[in-house]
Amino acid sequence: MDINDMIKPGMTHEETFLVEEQHLAPHVGSGAVRVLATPWMIAFMEITAHRLLAKHLPEGQSSVGTHVDVRHLAATPLGDSVRYRAEVLAVQGIRVQFAVSAWDSQELIGEGKHERAVIDVARFLKRVSAKANAK
């Protein structure tokens, strides 16, 4: 089955995550202020896009992140909830482009673009294993 039959521009998915201690900038080493770390904001954006695809792909297929271009616009404190949204913008071959965004309880805190590639899991793992064995 063609990916274009399963994934269409305009499809969306949202997830909400609570900002916990491990998500703070000092915890991951990305800053000294106790606010949501940019790497975690990006990770949650990727998780949201991945889960959108996972709902529509057949067994044996998944997706991997290939590109991220986002801006972190505002700080979010420990304990706040952040709502993440991924929207499919385009499907080109195995590549799926998303608009991603994040809002805390008060404002837009991040936005940008993200790209994922749809993979056959068994084939992908075979390539990874061959690479690991070549060391």
Selected catalytic residue, list 14, 27, 38, 56: 38
Could you confirm whether 46 is annotated as catalytic?
yes
> From CA 31, how far away is CA 37, in angstroms rounded?
8
CA distances from 8 to 12, 56, 119 (A): 10, 10, 17
Selected catalytic residue, list 23, 50, 72, 114: 72
Selected catalytic residue, list 46, 76, 87, 115: 46
Q: Which of 57, 66, 51, 60 is nearest to 5 (CA)?
A: 57
Task: Give the β-pairing of 61-72 and 12-18.
Answer: unpaired
User: Are residues 99 and 113 in contact, defined by beta-carbon separation less than 8 angstroms?
Assistant: yes
Amino acid letter, 86: A
Could you confirm whether 12 is annotated as catalytic?
no
- Residues serving a catalytic function are 38, 46, 72
